[in-house]
């Protein structure tokens, strides 16, 4: 089975081609166009500009794939239908509909979050590889710029959402903290980089820490903003102070995430843990989780598969078809900004 995966939920345009058989997979092509330079001057993603870039980049990436592969040979198109930025999703939808009609192929609608939790099952490498098997029940944390969700999976077909963010996502809060410190976009990697230079820790609040499994980061961001304003009254923000503030904010966010993971481990006794999404690429977060739960089998995606890309979408498409999920015609394709 050959699947073309297409990703346009936010600010990464991805098209990938994979071949799958008997629970094995190989990545034939993986093309990605970043929009970093477009959004950097705004300090965050501008949805309408993201849509414009997807419209521009999708034909370019498809042409690169078509140079080495006859698209008539693909079996399905897999497309991330949401959740995501609505203008970006619509730009992708229009492209996928035209392509599906041109090739006379069916479409596999892929939920963006499922692509994240499946991302731990493979490596970003050429050649055939086995798709990993996970021991269930497994606890899954999706932590990214748009989502902070905690799930308990009894198997791939049966899951329960334990909690989610009530306001900002963890990655979004890191981006906002970086904006407060004038570190640029994307903020998470800049915060991580500056944190390594820290010598001091500023105590910050941890909202709704003991109230179930939901998350809240907007109050933390507000407290951080007030702290920075207070410091500025007495001194300029030099590199060391920025490093200390970055470290303090990042540490607080990650401690909140880990507290909820530990609480769920204690209550539900999962056999494994999966941490996926863009923020899972942060090496400090990975070390902190491993240090707190040294005896657990914890799965993280490879760094290149942690962020949005077409490979994850194509993989999710294959697993959905393998498990008898319906495929659709181009006329039935629809997208959603938030989970239905």
Alpha carbon distance 149, 214 (integer Å): 8
Residue 287 lies in a domain: yes
Give the tens place of pLDDT for each residue, 249-280.
999 999 999 999 999 999 999 999 999 999 99
Instruction: For residues 82 and 61, state if they share a domain.
Output: yes
Strand, helix or coil for residue 131: coil
Q: What global pTM score does this model have? A: 0.94
* 22 DSSP 8-state letter: T
Let me know: does 117 contact 140? Beta carbons within 8 Å: yes
Residue 337 lies in a domain: no
Residue 98 lies in a domain: yes
Q: For residue 99, what are the contacts with CB-CB under 8 A and spacing of at least 6?
A: 62, 77, 105
Residue 339 lies in a domain: no
What angle (nearest 5°) sits at the alpha carbon of residue 187, between those of residues 263 and 338? 60
Give the tens place of pLDDT for each residue, 85-137.
999 999 999 999 999 999 999 999 999 999 999 999 999 998 999 999 999 99
Instruction: For residues 280 and 310, state if they share a domain.
Output: no
Instruction: For residues 7 and 47, state if they share a domain.
Output: yes
Strands 24-34 and 12-21: antiparallel
Alpha carbon distance 62, 4 (integer Å): 10
Question: How many whole angstroms from its chain centre is CA 33?
Answer: 16
CATH of residue 25: 3.30.420.40
């Amino acid at each position: 089975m050959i699947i073309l995966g297409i990703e346009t939920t936010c600010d990464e345009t991805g098209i990938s081609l994979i071949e799958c058989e008997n629970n094995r997979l190989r990545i034939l092509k993986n093309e990605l166009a970043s929009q970093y330079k477009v959004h950097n001057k705004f300090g965050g993603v501008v949805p309408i500009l993201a849509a414009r870039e997807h419209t521009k980049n999708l034909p370019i990436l498809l042409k690169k794939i078509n140079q080495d592969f006859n698209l008539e040979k693909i079996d399905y198109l897999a497309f991330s239908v949401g959740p995501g930025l609505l203008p970006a999703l619509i730009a992708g939808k229009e492209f996928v509909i035209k392509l599906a009609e041109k090739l006379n192929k069916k479409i596999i609608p892929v939920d963006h979050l499922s692509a994240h939790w499946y991302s731990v099952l493979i490596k970003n490498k050429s050649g055939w590889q086995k798709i990993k098997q996970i021991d269930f029940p497994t606890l899954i944390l999706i932590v990214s710029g748009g989502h902070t969700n905690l799930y308990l999976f009894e198997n791939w077909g049966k899951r329960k959402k334990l909690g989610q963010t009530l306001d900002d996502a963890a990655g979004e809060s890191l981006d906002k903290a970086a904006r407060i410190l004038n570190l640029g976009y994307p903020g998470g990697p800049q915060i991580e980089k500056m944190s390594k230079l820290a010598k001091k820790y500023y105590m910050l609040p941890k909202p709704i820490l003991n109230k179930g499994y939901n998350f809240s980061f907007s109050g933390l961001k507000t407290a951080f903003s007030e702290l920075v304003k207070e410091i500025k009254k007495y001194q300029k923000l030099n590199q060391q102070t920025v490093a200390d503030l970055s470290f303090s904010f990042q540490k607080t966010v990650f401690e909140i995430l880990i507290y909820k993971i530990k609480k769920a481990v204690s209550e539900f006794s999962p056999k494994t843990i999966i941490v996926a999404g863009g923020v899972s690429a942060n090496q400090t977060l990975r070390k902190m989780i491993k240090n707190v739960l040294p005896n657990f089998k914890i799965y993280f995606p490879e760094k290149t598969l942690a962020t949005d890309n077409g490979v994850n979408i194509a993989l999710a498409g294959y697993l959905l078809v393998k498990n008898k999920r319906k495929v659709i015609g181009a006329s039935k394709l629809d997208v959603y900004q938030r989970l239905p």
